[in-house]
Each structure stands twice: as C-alpha cells, then as structure tokens.
Amino acid sequence: MANFLFCSLDAALIGDVAWQVSREGHDVRYYIEADSDQEIADGFVPKTDDWRRDLDWADVVVFDDIWVGGDIGTGELARELRAEGHAVVGGTPNTDALEEDRGYAMEVLEDHGVNTIEHHVFEDFDAGIKHVQENPAPYVIKPLGEVQNVKRLLYVGNEDDGSDIVDVLEAYKKAWGHRMKGFQLQRKVEGVEIAVCGFFNGESFVEPINFNFEHKKLFPGNIGPSTGEMGTSMFWAGRNELFAETLGKVEGWLADEGYVGSIDINCIVNEDGIYPLEFTPRFGYPTITLQVESFESGTGQFFLDLANGRDPGLEVHRGYQVAVRVVLPPFPFDDQKTYDENSRNAAVVFGSDSREGIHIEDAKRVSVAGTDRATGERSEPGAAVDGQWRVAGESGMPLVVTGKGETMQAAREQAYERVDDILIPNCYYRDDIGERWIDGDGDRLQAWGYLGPAV
C-alpha cells in the first residue's frame, strides 16, 4: 500500500479517482484550492488543507489539470517536485503549452512528421476575417489561452464560403474582444472524430492504448452549446496505425520532457488520412473516470508504477465502455441563482442498493449524524446506512455513470440501465452516447484500415 496526494489547484476534478484508490486500501489525501469546490468529495475521500505540507508523506503526487492561475501551471510545479525527488503524475511547462497554445502544438506535431490540417493563428479579429474572405472555405474557430475553457466559444463552420465564420468573428470581436487575446482558424475536415490517448511513464507509452469518442454538445444528435463533455465511449487496442501516426511520433519528445500521465490527441480521420485537431496533455473528464472503470488491475498500483517510470502491466476490460455525464441546471452555464434554486445540495436518490458504475464528480456524502459543510445542517442518525449523497460545488455535474460490454450496444444498455436507477430532480443527460460507433463510425474506421485487433 502507498500514500497518494491528489491536488486540484483549479477546479476539483479528480475526486472519483482518489475515491477508487482509497477503496483499494491506499492512504489518500485530497487537496482542493478553490473555495467554491471545498465540499466536493466530502465523505468520500480524506482531505488536506495544505498539499505542500504533505509532500514528504506522499509516495505519489497527482495533479488533475494544467491550470493553476497566474503565470505558472502544474507542469512547472511537477517539474520542480521531480527535481526534488518526488514521484509525480503531471506534465511539464512545454506539455502544458500544447493545450494553452494551439499554434505551438501544431509546430510540435509538424516537427515530428505528423500530418496536420491547414491552420493559422491570429491575435487580431480583422486579420482573421480578412483571411477567410480571401480564402473562402469552411473553418473552425478555436480560442487560445485561458478563454478556451469557455467551451461555447468554439465554433465549427457550416458554409463553404466561410461567411458564417466571418459573422461569428465579428460577433466575438464585439462581445469577447477584451478577453479573447487570440484564436486559431483551422480548415474544417469531414470524417470520423476519434481521440488517441496513452499513459506515459516518463520514458515510453504504457500499453494498451486507449481510443475514445467525445460527445461535447449538450443535446443528443450533437446539437446545442458545447460543454466540457457530456459523455465518452471507448475501447483499448495495441499500437495500431492511428497511434503510430500521431502519439507514436512524439514518444521521444515526451521522453525528453519527462512527461508522466495521460495525454490525448483528438483527430479527424477519413479515407485520405489522419488529421490531429488538439492535444489534452492531462486527464480528460469524464474520460479518466471511464478509463479507471475499465481497469482490471489496481488503479493505485498503476499510478504508483507510472510515476516511478515502471511498466504497470495494465490489464483492461476487453470490449467497449460508455460513460454518461448526469448534470443539473445551469450546466454548462454559470448562473448562481438558477443553481441555488434547482441544484444546490440536492439529494441523489438510488432505486437500488447497487452503486456499480456510479462515479462522483461534484458530489459529497453527508455522514450519518454528520454536519453538511455547505449548509451547517446536522443529519439524523440512521438517515442512511452509508450517508446521503448530495450535489456539491457550483457547476452542476454531480455524477458520471458507466457501462461495459462485449459490444458498444451492450455497454450502452448497461450504462443507461444504471442511469435509470438514479433520481435527482431536474437532472438531464444525453441518451445517445456510443451511437455514432454503432451507426457507422466503427465500420468506417475498420474499412479505412486504421484499427488493429482489439486488446
């Protein structure tokens, strides 16, 4: 058994993984920086109020994101801690920049022989508008820097002449010109969107490799505003062509960086080629929740080995996996009044005693005869055998529900049967996670020859 220190220096994201590691018998402490997120994972995971004080106690330090605030990211902190002799799951300043600076990310890919989509970075809206007018085509607008976390600002063009892109850029100039310091225009490419994700131990990628499909729009059918993500479907495989032509080509660069953790590259794939879109040089959410659910070897031992440069000998579910994010108003927007009236401290009710496939995000557990940190209310003894699950934080993302199966359809059925067992007033979710694979994405990828045999 080992000591794990999980650190959320921006939003609280890693609570479910910490909970899983704790349930395996490891000692866990979880630090959350944001005042608004302090109650997240209460009752599930032991907390600490000073992560630096606990560094010498920890056998492994795990950072959940690259964002901290100010001019420093967790990559800089991780590099400093490694230099001091700590085992850390986290990035480096250069790997943080893969997400913060999309232009830099494309340069890294091109320098290592990866084919990329035509793209241009602009700091001036008028220059971007002029480029589209002089080079009419469908484009994708991708904000740069911290404002890229405002997911609804990403816009995928529909018009062949780019006229809608011009309209959107003109609107952004008026509404977001004071905050959006730059943006990337990327040529739109049609095909299957798939992400290649690998765990890196500082020297090489751990096998098997994860392949996942993000569902970012709020409503079924890929309609509505963009969110962080509404759900994920995935499978695991070997070092096939998709891996070899993307992450495989930057394996040496990541080793030189000393990167440790999960790194994901989202791509558009068609019969003509593989076109990387963007990096996620950190855990994805809820991707990491579904990945851990599919581990058939120990999660704690996996991260202990990963942080110490060893091959964990990862064993995973052979088949397909689906995760569904269950959310509440005002997600994906910020509106405190709406959240207070509809979601704050809401009870999570289960129709059965089973908690299989149920994972926490912005949730807490009020202990029997315990005190709720948010309200100060005392719960009555005997109110619940293991404590009442409640909604926590301010984002309206309490749960992720997962399913597994030998086929994608079987994984979907298990996940949605578990969703049906949950009652939270005003909750909503997408009911089509995994359907794209069934409706033809899987057949197309096979026909184009990109997928090797599954694990």
For the chain, which residues make up each domain, given as ranges?
119-187, 321-440
pLDDT bin (cut points 50, 70, 90) of residue 378 is very low
> Does position 5 have pLDDT exceeding 70, yes or no?
yes
Average of pLDDT values for 426-434? 97
pLDDT bin (cut points 50, 70, 90) of residue 181 is confident
**Strand-pair partners of 401:** 324, 358
Average of pLDDT values for 240-252? 96
Residue identified by tokens 């184009």 is 448
Q: How far apart are CA 160 and CA 187, in angstroms?
A: 11
pLDDT at residue number 144: 76
Q: Are 227 and 214 in contact (CB under 8 A)?
A: no
> 144, 97, 100, 99: which is closest to 120 by C-alpha?
144
Average of pLDDT values for 418-447? 96
Q: How far apart are CA 142 and CA 59, in angstroms?
A: 38
pLDDT bin (cut points 50, 70, 90) of residue 339 is very high
Contacts of 440 (CB under 8 A, 6+ apart): none
> Does position 362 have pLDDT exceeding 80, yes or no?
yes
Q: Are 35 and 49 in contact (CB under 8 A)?
A: no
pLDDT at residue number 143: 84
pLDDT bin (cut points 50, 70, 90) of residue 154 is confident
Average of pLDDT values for 85-108? 94
> Does position 384 have pLDDT exceeding 80, yes or no?
no
Mean pLDDT estimate for the chain = 92
pLDDT bin (cut points 50, 70, 90) of residue 133 is very high
> Does position 282 have pLDDT exceeding 70, yes or no?
yes
pLDDT at residue number 382: 34
Q: How far apart are CA 304 and CA 192, in angstroms?
A: 35
Q: Which of 46-50, 77-81, 120-124, 327-331 has the lowest mean pLDDT?
A: 120-124
Q: How far apart are CA 34 and CA 452, in angstroms?
A: 43
> Does position 453 have pLDDT exceeding 60, yes or no?
no
> Does position 146 have pLDDT exceeding 70, yes or no?
no
Task: Tell me which amino acid residue 249 is.
Answer: K
**Would you identify the CATH topology of the domain 321-440?**
Glycinamide Ribonucleotide Synthetase; Chain A, domain 4 (3.90.600)
pLDDT at residue number 370: 47
pLDDT at residue number 369: 54
Average of pLDDT values for 223-252? 95
pLDDT bin (cut points 50, 70, 90) of residue 70 is low
pLDDT at residue number 386: 62
Structure tokens at 12: 């609280």
Q: Which of 150-154, 175-179, 218-222, 278-282 has the lowest mean pLDDT?
A: 150-154
pLDDT at residue number 454: 44
Q: How far apart are CA 144 and CA 153, in angstroms?
A: 10
Average of pLDDT values for 75-99? 97
Q: Which residue has the higher pLDDT, 374 or 99?
A: 99
Q: How far apart are CA 373 and CA 378, in angstroms?
A: 10
**Would you identify the CATH topology of the domain 119-187?**
Dna Ligase; domain 1 (3.30.1490)
Provide the phi-psi class of 434: left if phi over 0, else alpha when psi is between -120 and 50, else beta: left
Per CATH, 119-187 and 321-440 having the same topology is answered no
Q: Which residue has the higher pLDDT, 156 or 326?
A: 326
